[in-house]
Chain A
């Protein structure tokens, strides 16, 4: 059973427009959520995170929104740049108090930003 779902395998946007990547989760114990970015032939790198006590976290062009009642989060990139083209993984963990240290990843969404 897939606990973290990224239902869009790919997304294509124009440079300068907004990119919205979506993620749904089923495990109500998840309380910390992260987004990772991965370029080809490289390891994933951490992008932004959000705790379940918040509904929004912003870092420059990147904003993550969390809707706990819908078990849904989204990553907004504004404005999108060609260098943002990569695979984006949503990840979640349970037990922010220190009892869990494993991340569960979604399958990823390939974002392509066209010049």
Chain B
């Protein structure tokens, strides 16, 4: 059981380049999330999805786009990368909302924008 898988694990971009991070989960979870982790900032929610075909903005959505065309996949896109987007990105999923709230995280994708 792979859980939550993120690809790629590492990427270096030049300013202005675009890229897509892929998140795949095999737990049949409804909800999926993209967080970024920066030193001294904790985990901040970028975008999330409550089901196939839906997306919503989190705390820090600017500069990112997302898509959830299939239930098991959640894509995070950077159309024009900026150095401020250098971060570690974590995808997460959860089975149900509300009382549980437990998220299952991927291993992270380290992105460097030069």
Q: Which residue from chain A places its CB closest to the CB of B31 in the assembled complex? A: A101
The yes or no answer to B69 lying at the interface (CB within 8 A) is no
Q: A41-B108, A43-B108 are in contact. Are A97 and B98 (CB under 8 A)?
A: yes
Number of interface residues of A (CB under 8 A): 31
Q: Which residue of A lies closest to B3 (CB)?
A: A43
Find the B residue at minimum CB distance from A105: B43
Interface size on B, residues (CB 8 A): 28
CB contacts under 8 Å to A, within B21-49, are 31, 33, 35, 40-45, 48
Mark out the residues of chain B between 50 and 100 whose CB falls within 8 Å of any chain A CB in the assembled complex: 50, 58, 90, 92, 94, 97-100
Choose from A43, A95, A99, A108 the contact partner of B90 (Cβ within 8 Å). A43
Q: What is the chain B residue whose CB lies nearest that of A47?
A: B102
A90 to chain B, nearest CB (A): 9
The 0/1 profile, CB within 8 Å of B marked 1, for residues 48-71 of chain A is 010100000000000000000000
In contact, B99 and A32 (Cβ under 8 angstroms): yes
Q: How far is the CA of A106 from the CA of B45 in the complex (A)?
A: 12
Q: In A31-54, which residues have CB < 8 Å from any B CB?
A: 32, 34, 36, 41-46, 49, 51
Chain A at the B interface: SS class: loop
Decide yes or no: A96 and B99 within 8 Å by CB, A43-B108, A101-B94 being known contacts. yes
List the A residue with the shortest CB-CB distance to B99.
Answer: A96
Minimum CB–CB distance from B61 to chain A (whole Å) comes to: 12
Chain B residues with Cβ below 8 Å from A107 are: 40-42
User: Closest approach, in angstroms, between the C-beta of A82 and any C-beta of chain B?
Assistant: 22
List chain B residues, Cβ under 8 A from A105: 35, 42-44
Task: Quote the shortest CB–CB distance from A52 to chain B (angstroms).
Answer: 11
Closest beta carbon of chain B to A38's beta carbon, Å: 8
- 10 residue pairs bridging A and B, Cβ less than 8 Å apart: A4-B42, A9-B40, A32-B99, A42-B107, A43-B106, A44-B103, A44-B105, A49-B100, A49-B102, A103-B101
New A-B pairs, 13, CB < 8 Å, besides A46-B104, A101-B97: A6-B42, A32-B98, A32-B99, A41-B108, A43-B4, A43-B106, A44-B43, A49-B101, A49-B102, A89-B43, A97-B98, A100-B97, A103-B101
